[in-house]
């Protein structure tokens, strides 16, 4: 069975794809920090950040529509945050001065725009970097190995588990003739239980396979990263632009 993979555009050959995964990771983090700390009234800065991100997306040759569709994951976060806006404003009028900008709508748009920009950058990062490379970049940057292993196993097995669920659903459909809604819900609960047991069993088998190949509790990997001159140029240029937007423009 086929699924869409989170890094399905990571095989394109573009200047952005060719960058070192660490550089992209560092850039994304810096970008997010800049965006988050942009003062609320600096619309122009936010617009420039947007243009910068858009340019990078165009350079990466990842379809724009794909990126925009993916960016909808930001919507629930924006909604959750905006629930608190009315309360925020009351505190704001006493605590810190927002002056004439003290309006609910402005705060809302600010949060929406900032989350959107951050999400776009993250989508750009994951769709231009193969996940294994991203994991290795995280490892190089001293993220604890246990987190990386969890992510790595999740990336490897989420589709195996989804396949199992889909097969079970097909088998259920093949034998389902009528039955009440309540009955089908009960069956679904059973399926989740079975899926849990199978996952548990698989975990045990994977561990056996790891032990068979000499696993002693410490994961070791090799990376073939090489920090090239163009990575350096990109990092300098991109960070420079961010500084320019933040402190000089607008």
Partner 1 sequence: MRLNRKAIEIKKLNYSYPDGTNALSDINLDIFEEESLGVVGPNGAGKSTLLLHLNGILQGEGSIKIFGEEINSGNLFHIRRKVGLVFQDPDNQLFMPTVFDDVAFGPLNMSLSKDEVHKLVDEALSKVDMLNFKNRSSHHLSFGEKKRISIATVLSMMPEILVLDEPSSNLDPYHRRQLIEFLNDISITRVIATHDLDLVLETCTRVVLLDDGEIVAEGSTVDVLKNKELLEAHSLEVPASVYLKEEKPTPGKS
> In the complex, which residues of this chain contact partner 1 (CB under 8 A)?
5, 130-132, 135, 152-153, 155-157, 159-160, 202, 205-206, 208-216, 220-222
Distance of CA 2 to the CA centre of its chain: 21
Closer of 64 and 209 to partner 1 (Cβ): 209
Closer of 42 and 202 to partner 1 (Cβ): 202
As a whole number of angstroms, the distance between CA 63 and CA 60 comes to 9
End-to-end Cα spacing for the chain: 51
Structure tokens at 141: 């940057």
Closer of 12 and 98 to partner 1 (Cβ): 12
Q: Shortest approach of partner 1 to residue 158 CB, angstroms? A: 9
Q: Shortest approach of partner 1 to residue 29 CB, angstroms? A: 22
Tell the residue number behind the tokens 């989170």, with chain if given.
6
As a whole number of angstroms, the distance between CA 191 and CA 45 comes to 51
Q: Which of 60, 12, 21 lies closest to 138, judged by CA? A: 21
Q: Shortest approach of partner 1 to residue 23 CB, angstroms? A: 19
Q: Shortest approach of partner 1 to residue 202 CB, angstroms? A: 6
Q: Shortest approach of partner 1 to residue 32 CB, angstroms? A: 25
Closer of 153 and 183 to partner 1 (Cβ): 153
Q: Shortest approach of partner 1 to residue 157 CB, angstroms? A: 8
Q: Which of 130, 12, 7 lies closest to 61, judged by CA? A: 12
Closer of 51 and 194 to partner 1 (Cβ): 194
Hey, CA dihedral for 83, 85, 90, 91, is it positive or negative?
Answer: positive
Closer of 227 and 244 to partner 1 (Cβ): 227
Task: Please write down the HEC assignment for all residues of 178-228.
Answer: CCCHHHHHHHHHHHHHHHHHHHHHHHHHHHHHHHHCCCCCCCCCCCCCCCC
């Amino acid at each position: 069975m086929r699924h869409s993979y989170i890094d399905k555009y990571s095989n394109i050959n573009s200047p952005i794809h060719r960058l070192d995964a660490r550089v992209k990771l560092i850039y994304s983090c810096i970008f997010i920090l800049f965006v988050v700390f942009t003062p609320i009234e600096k619309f122009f800065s936010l617009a420039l950040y947007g243009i910068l991100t858009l340019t990078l997306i165009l350079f990466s040759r990842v379809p724009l529509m794909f990126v925009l569709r993916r960016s909808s994951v930001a919507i629930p976060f924006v909604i959750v945050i905006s629930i608190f806006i009315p309360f925020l404003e009351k505190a704001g009028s006493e605590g810190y001065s927002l002056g004439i900008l003290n309006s609910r709508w402005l705060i809302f748009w600010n949060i929406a725009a900032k989350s959107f920009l951050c999400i776009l950058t993250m989508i750009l990062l994951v769709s231009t970097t193969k996940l294994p490379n991203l994991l290795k970049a995280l490892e190089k940057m001293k993220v604890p190995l246990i987190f990386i292993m969890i992510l790595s196993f999740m990336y490897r097995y989420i589709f195996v588990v989804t396949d199992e669920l889909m097969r079970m659903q097909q088998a259920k459909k093949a034998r389902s003739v009528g039955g009440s809604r309540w009955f089908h819900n009960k069956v679904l609960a059973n399926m989740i239980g079975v899926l849990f047991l199978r996952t548990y069993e698989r975990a045990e088998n994977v561990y056996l396979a790891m032990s068979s190949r000499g696993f002693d509790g410490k994961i070791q990997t090799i990376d073939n990263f090489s920090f090239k001159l163009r990575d350096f140029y990109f990092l300098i240029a991109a960070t420079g632009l961010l500084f320019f937007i933040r402190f000089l423009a607008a």
